[in-house]
């Protein structure tokens, strides 16, 4: 059911897009093998259901904000609304540590996304966060979370490099902002 809800959310987001619809597809169609591989990975993550979608969306939004990918923030904010992320949570992402809008687990997930996105992504921070997450999540869920964050890093950096612009999917809603 989670996968079906996420697929519906993607459909709603893309139907609501108002501009720049062809940016990413315009680039990926030039390399069909890469486009197909991207579609397969996106589908695999979409169908992975070990982790609550709200946690994935928070992690993706944090990574997108740190990368400053406006397209990712646009679609991510629309999908986050569908997954139950509140407007306050979206606004408080840059200061999540001090916000009462998040549970302990949500703060750990956002911190893990931050630690994976910062360069270099090594050291005790990741190990400590992974250990703290293991008190709340299974190894399977942590693996899914790490793959989701890593993919958002790839996705955001690719979109930035190719100049993929926001499509207006979150227009009229709270939208996460790039972080400095």
Distance CA 45, CA 37 (A): 12
Q: How many CB atoms lie within 10 A of CB 101?
A: 17
In 3D space, the residue among 136, 180, 164 whose CA is nearest the CA of residue 75 turns out to be 164
Helices 2-16/32-47 angle, 10° precision: 130
Higher pLDDT, 174 or 151: 151
**14: confidence class by pLDDT, cuts 50, 70, 90:** low
Distance CA 72, CA 155 (A): 8
In 3D space, the residue among 148, 163, 139 whose CA is nearest the CA of residue 57 turns out to be 148
Q: Give the tens place of pLDDT for each residue, 60-78.
A: 999 999 999 998 999 899 8
The mean pLDDT value of the chain amounts to: 89
């Amino acid at each position: 059911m989670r996968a079906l809800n996420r697929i519906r959310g993607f459909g709603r987001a893309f139907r609501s897009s108002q501009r720049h619809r062809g940016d990413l597809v315009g680039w990926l169609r030039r390399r069909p093998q890469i486009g197909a591989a991207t579609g397969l990975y996106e589908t695999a993550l979409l169908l992975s259901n070990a982790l609550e979608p709200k946690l994935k969306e928070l992690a993706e939004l944090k990574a997108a904000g740190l990368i400053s990918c406006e397209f990712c923030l646009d679609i991510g904010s629309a999908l986050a609304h569908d997954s139950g992320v509140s407007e306050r949570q979206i606004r408080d992402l840059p200061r999540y540590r001090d916000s009462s809008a998040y549970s302990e687990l949500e703060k750990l997930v956002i911190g893990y996304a931050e630690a994976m996105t910062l360069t270099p992504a090594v050291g005790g921070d990741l190990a400590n966060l992974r250990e703290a997450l293991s008190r709340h999540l299974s190894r399977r869920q942590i693996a899914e979370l790490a793959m989701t964050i890593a993919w958002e890093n790839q996705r955001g950096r690719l979109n930035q490099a190719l100049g993929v612009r926001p499509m207006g999917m979150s227009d009229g809603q709270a939208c996460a902002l790039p972080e400095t």
